[in-house]
Structure 1
Amino acid sequence: MTAIVARPNGTDHLNVLDTVDVATEPITVQPRVTNGAATSARPRFSYATATTLPLVDRFIDEPRSLRVAVVGGGLTGILAGILLPRKVPGIKLTIYEKNPDFGGTWLENIYPGVRCDIPSHVYQATFAPKKDWSDEFASGAEIRDYWQDVARQYDLYKYARFNERVLAAEWYTTNSTWQVTSSKGDKSIKEEYDFVLTAVGRFNTWQLPDYPGLSDFQGLLRHTSNWDATFDPAGKRVAVIGNGASGIQVVSSLQNQVVQLDHYARSKTWIASSWAGDDRTLEPQPISQEKQAQWQADDAAYLEFRKTMEDKYWRRFRTFIKDSDENAALRERFTDVMKSRLGDKAHLAKDMVPDFSPNCRRLTPGPGYLEAIGQDNVDYIQTPIRRFTATGIETEDGKHRPVDAIFCSTGSRRDFVPAFEIVSQDTTLAEVWAADGEHGFPYSYLGVAVPGFHNLLLIQGPHGTAPSGTVPHSVESQLAYIAKVLRKVSREGIKSVRPCKAAADDFLAYCDSFFKESVVSETCSSWYNGGIPGSRVHGIWPGSAAHLTIVRRDPRWEDFKYEYIAESNGNRFMGYLGNGSTRKEQDAESDMTTYLHEAVDLRDVHESWHTIP
């Protein structure tokens, strides 16, 4: 056997044979001559004298257990409770929920007409289809029941701590853990976790407006997210403030039950015919028993129906691009729809049709809303409110309108700052994100983590969903990304992970560049921009849903900073590589050839990377 000895770069020649017979001659390196000068040989390595580190006695496929707190038990928290234990071996999961059950916004919102404006068969977990939805657009109660049923089906209740409100989460650098403080009744509880995941939702922290005289009003005053189920609208005079999704639904539902309805709307909004060509009406749209039975009996037929229905929501992205033909077509169609549906009050179109493009703020289908505005017992009021009085509302023109009840559809906090305090290294997330804070908006890395905040991961926070696609899929794909982070930490001896500021800054620069070309950067008030027209867009992803799916498939590990457990002695590989073996190979019955199977697609050999989404 002959070995070829390559010359090092920059060396004129070696003082050894260029070829040697390794069967008869050992290879030794003699003193080298470099540019005419002799250099000494490299010292020979010896295990007897080498300085080594103690091996960590663990198998590489035996991950370290992680204590993970999920804050929030709505759709996002439910999906986290289902997917993370199945994707992250050894996870010890706790789900904090301030309410007595799972359900989130669908548990809390019980106002008249509350329904999903996305088809029922789209607004469900990808892996838990419900073939017997009773209506094309389910009521809030049916959606709540669905998600609670899914939670029971996947045994989530064992992780839940209901009626327990998280007050604070503080990072301790001494032991690299989060201390979570919660309250249940009059009891304060402190627990330690390796990771905190926020799943508090976008519209959970509702707020009343701050008009003067708010406390003077003697009638019923409620936010639509805090509805009084005992309220009887019959014969009442009511005011509805705000024309967001809930305000539009309340106006549509109450108009034919009350004597008079005053609708206060400062902002214009597009009333869409539908989200993706799915016509929705104010009245229920029941799905026939025959159709439900057909789907129950034919899985293939239901899957095809579901794929056709959901596919449309992945095709809407071009309508968000400035000066696109698709957006122009929306403007023309929605303008015609609004004018025709106002009936005898078509003259109001000039006050209601926005100057900004469709999709600058979230579209609202609003079936029955414009028809309600057109009725004689409804006044559409754009004059700003001056103050509340004991008996009603006074506007800036001095006009006073008496009412029995006032319902505020004034939204929730739009800064994405969780309702509980998050503290890391003497800095709170609110100080970083709040309008008057360090950055003034929800600054993040890919909408999943924040520089300076160790082991804090965001679910459906800023940039959490794309303008196309579906919410359940977006949540699931983000949880798959988070599961990759947790697996890396548990397997590689990492005690803390956080994104690099440079990476977050580069992401921000991309966001600014992308949104400049999108209609969401136009001058309108929306939760995309924190309710501040013209400010930085942070509510949605800078790209399509398919684009976001690819980003989440393979984390860019180079964008993170890591700290390692003490047993690693500062070496990134000691805690990871462990004792050099696997637990699996110790089991004589284990299958060590899982890579051998029939019907191989060569693109999928040892990986799967090419499918979208």
Structure 2
Amino acid sequence: MATVDLPTPPATARASPKPGAGASSTSPASATTIPKPYEVPKINILNRFIDEPRELNVVVIGAGLAGILAGILLPKKVPGIKLTIYEKNADVAGTWFENIYPGVRCDVPAHVYQSTFEPNTQWTEEFAQGPEILEYWKGLSRKYDLYKFLKLSQRVDALDWDPATSQWLINVHDLKSETSRVERADFVLTAIGRFNAWKLPNYPGINDFKGLLRHTSNWDPTFDVTGKKVAVIGNGASGIQLVANIQKRVKQLDHYARNNTWVAASFAGHETSIEPKVIPKELRESFKDPEVYLKYRKEMEQTYFRGFQGWLKGSEINDQAKETFTQLAKTRLASKPELFEKIIPDFSPHCRRLTPGPGYFEALSQPNVEYIQTHIKRFTETGIETVDGQTRDVDAIFCATGANSDMAPPFPIRSGGSDLSYDWSHGGTYGFPYAYMGVASPGFPNLLFIHGPSASGRSGTVPHNVENQITFFAKILRKVSREGIKTITPSRKATDDFVAYNDAFFETTVLSENCSSWYNGGVPGGRIHGLWPGSATHLTVVQKDPRWEDWEYEYLSDSGNRFAWYFGNGSTRVEADPQSDITPYLTAGEPDLRSVHENWWVIP
């Protein structure tokens, strides 16, 4: 290699200061100025280990599916949690405890309506009836000792944030003793259900009716419909199931259906039936082989994660669904073709939640059923009068009119002069559930919503979604208990950004069409708040890693220093224990480098 002679850099000349130009008349000692150090507030070191989380007093409101899963998972995922679950009913399971009307069943296969970690291989019917579903969730509660956390027949009437103690004051009413008391909690997680606050319609004269008046969620099991003249108001899931199941027993059935709706034969290709679809004994026997059952379960469940495209505007899947459902209605209403135009809506399938309706069209076609779309004017002592002046007398009126669809809490939740039960209601401050990713709301610290607004994707399964959301909340609770955080609240900017994305996304879907549904709070064409703006798998990715930068914090330390309580004395308890495994990261076998110290890549 040839060498190259580099030029020698010139010597740097340093000029002597001229008299009066930079020269100092002071002594050399006084010429040296020590800069003032950058000062920060002094703090005290706390004598605690960083791996000793503080105890968190956590309250869950509700023991339906979401509350049960929270009661099972949170104690396993959040060290130091002190958990209490308040449930207004006398036992667990929410919807499945309350709804006992004839024909109540799940409209998706039972094998996808169960926890991911505790499958029941021995469901007796493909679409399980209410009692079997109820027993499944009660069985989970017994197996995982959930009852030790439960306070049954305890109704929460109000939540008030106490800024002096950074705790929630919980007004609890004991339904057995009819007494009230106030409890405290560091965190509250609401698991009150989307359709739990059922209500009777507010028609004039409703209290004048002398016959049996019931909401389907408050069914009277002692009343026999056989040979009776009855009215069913509403054509949502409950109304469709009820009509199909009592039509053959009643003398006359008046079915009041204000809205047109699409009725499907199935969800994800699993066709329902008015008759029980019993799972063959030999198939159930084969499920005792874990590998056989896992294959069956995965094949079934994945179909519910792949239906996302069907609710996008202009999608071929949606067009095909419209054609299929239209032909289904024509075929099953052949004996009463005049009903076809009354039932088929002018909006796309999926604008409202699809309802598989086995036996529904067949029931409507029978001579003892009258399908009535004329609006109700009032109730009379003996029946219902419509706005055209016609009165129809009945022995019983069953209201399948759903629940409060605006998702506003059924009791006051107050903080800083605001009340979510008002703010979220129609005509309130926001008029819709103003929430960050559906899980929390600005100005309401330490309050989280399980399966609340925007909580689930249009695809996927409910149990999987709820379990993932609870896992997301467990990460929040662990961070709070581990890092000495006193309060955590989503920022308003992050919430506004989420709402803006939510609105823009749903404009691309058929859900934004002019239909009334619980997706939009019963406001045709209104803002969608009942679903996540994306697919179920999309939501799983989002919830995998919380965006901590979207939250605002207050700290336990008197100084407000974020590290004072968290870092403690600079060491861990595990290293002080000579019997502990302090190198759990060392394992045998070939490593999957993606999962070294993490498993970020597992989706969903």
Same fold (TM over 0.5): yes
**Are the counterparts in 2 of residues 66 and 490 from structure 1 also a CA contact under 8 Å?**
yes
User: Which deviates more, 436-445 or 51-60?
Assistant: 51-60
Structure 2 CA distance for aligned equivalents of residues 378 and 419 of structure 1: 35
Aligned ranges for residues 365-514 of structure 1 at < 5 Å?
365-514=356-505
Structure 1 CA distance for aligned equivalents of residues 431 and 232 of structure 2: 31
Aligned ranges for residues 91-490 of structure 1 at < 5 Å?
91-184=81-174, 185-296=177-288, 298-490=289-481
CA shift, 1:51, in A, is 6.5
Secondary structure of the residue aligned to 2:47 is coil
Residue identity in the other structure for 2:120: K
CA shift, 1:154, in A, is 0.6
Secondary structure of the residue aligned to 1:69 is strand
Aligned to 1:18: none
Q: Provide Cα deviations, 1:24-77, integer angstroms capped at 9, x if missing partner.
A: xxxxxxxxxxxxxx99664579xxx99631112211111011000000000000
Q: Provide Cα deviations, 1:565-607, integer angstroms capped at 9, x if missing partner.
A: 134x211111111111111111111111111123311111111
Structure 2 CA distance for aligned equivalents of residues 599 and 252 of structure 1: 58
Aligned to 2:18: none
Structure 2 CA distance for aligned equivalents of residues 555 and 322 of structure 1: 30
- For structure 1, the residue ranges without an aligned partner over 5 or more in a row are 1-12, 16-37
Aligned ranges for residues 533-572 of structure 1 at < 5 Å?
533-567=524-558, 569-572=559-562
Question: Is residue 2:62 matched to residue 1:88?
Answer: no
Q: Provide Cα deviations, 1:2-24, integer angstroms capped at 9, x if missing partner.
A: xxxxxxxxxxx9x9xxxxxxxxx
Question: Is residue 2:573 matched to residue 1:579?
Answer: no
Q: Provide Cα deviations, 1:201-246, integer angstroms capped at 9, x if missing partner.
A: 0010101111111111111111111100011111101000000000
- Determine which of 572, 593, 597 is the counterpart of 1:606: 597
Structure 1 CA distance for aligned equivalents of residues 507 and 383 of structure 2: 42
User: Which deviates more, 450-459 or 582-591?
Assistant: 582-591
Structure 2 CA distance for aligned equivalents of residues 471 and 243 of structure 1: 22
Secondary structure of the residue aligned to 1:372 is helix
Q: Provide Cα deviations, 1:326-376, integer angstroms capped at 9, x if missing partner.
A: 111111111111111113012311111110000001000010000100111
Residue identity in the other structure for 1:189: R
Residue identity in the other structure for 1:393: I
Aligned to 2:60: 70
Secondary structure of the residue aligned to 2:79 is coil
Structure 1 CA distance for aligned equivalents of residues 199 and 434 of structure 2: 23
Structure 2 CA distance for aligned equivalents of residues 583 and 343 of structure 1: 75
Structure 1 CA distance for aligned equivalents of residues 426 and 178 of structure 2: 33
**Are the counterparts in 2 of residues 81 and 95 from structure 1 also a CA contact under 8 Å?**
yes
Q: Provide Cα deviations, 1:168-208, integer angstroms capped at 9, x if missing partner.
A: 11110011001111011222121110001000000101011
Residue identity in the other structure for 2:75: P
Q: Provide Cα deviations, 1:149-171, integer angstroms capped at 9, x if missing partner.
A: 00111110000000111111111
TM-aligned CA distance change 1:329 to 1:39, over 3 Å: farther
What is the root-mean-square deviation of aligned Cα atoms in Å?
A: 1.6
Q: Provide Cα deviations, 1:253-293, integer angstroms capped at 9, x if missing partner.
A: 01000111010001011001111000110000111222212
**Are the counterparts in 1 of residues 408 and 422 from structure 2 also a CA contact under 8 Å?**
no
Aligned to 1:8: none
Residue identity in the other structure for 1:320: W
CA shift, 1:108, in A, is 0.2
Structure 2 CA distance for aligned equivalents of residues 119 and 232 of structure 1: 29
**Are the counterparts in 2 of residues 207 and 412 from structure 1 also a CA contact under 8 Å?**
yes
Q: Provide Cα deviations, 1:87-123, integer angstroms capped at 9, x if missing partner.
A: 0000000000001111100000000000000100000
Structure 1 CA distance for aligned equivalents of residues 407 and 49 of structure 2: 40
CA shift, 1:430, in A, is 1.6
* Percent of pairs with identical residues: 57
Secondary structure of the residue aligned to 2:168 is strand
Structure 1 CA distance for aligned equivalents of residues 466 and 40 of structure 2: 50
Secondary structure of the residue aligned to 1:231 is coil
Please give the TM-score of this superposition, normalised by the length of structure 1.
0.92
- For structure 2, the residue ranges without an aligned partner over 5 or more in a row are 1-11, 15-30
**Are the counterparts in 1 of residues 241 and 357 from structure 2 also a CA contact under 8 Å?**
yes
Structure 2 CA distance for aligned equivalents of residues 186 and 553 of structure 1: 43
CA shift, 1:420, in A, is 2.1
Residue identity in the other structure for 1:141: P
Secondary structure of the residue aligned to 1:380 is strand
Structure 1 CA distance for aligned equivalents of residues 41 and 299 of structure 2: 63
Count, aligned residues: 573
CA shift, 1:387, in A, is 1.1
Please give the TM-score of this superposition, normalised by the length of structure 2.
0.93
**Are the counterparts in 1 of residues 469 and 543 from structure 2 also a CA contact under 8 Å?**
yes
**Are the counterparts in 2 of residues 340 and 346 from structure 1 also a CA contact under 8 Å?**
no
Structure 2 CA distance for aligned equivalents of residues 40 and 262 of structure 1: 96
Aligned to 1:10: none
Residue identity in the other structure for 2:355: T
Secondary structure of the residue aligned to 2:356 is coil
Residue identity in the other structure for 1:486: L
Q: Provide Cα deviations, 1:277-326, integer angstroms capped at 9, x if missing partner.
A: 00110000111222212112x00000010000000000000011001111
CA shift, 1:431, in A, is 2.5
TM-aligned CA distance change 1:424 to 1:51, over 3 Å: closer
Aligned to 2:3: none
Structure 2 CA distance for aligned equivalents of residues 318 and 57 of structure 1: 56
Structure 2 CA distance for aligned equivalents of residues 396 and 244 of structure 1: 22
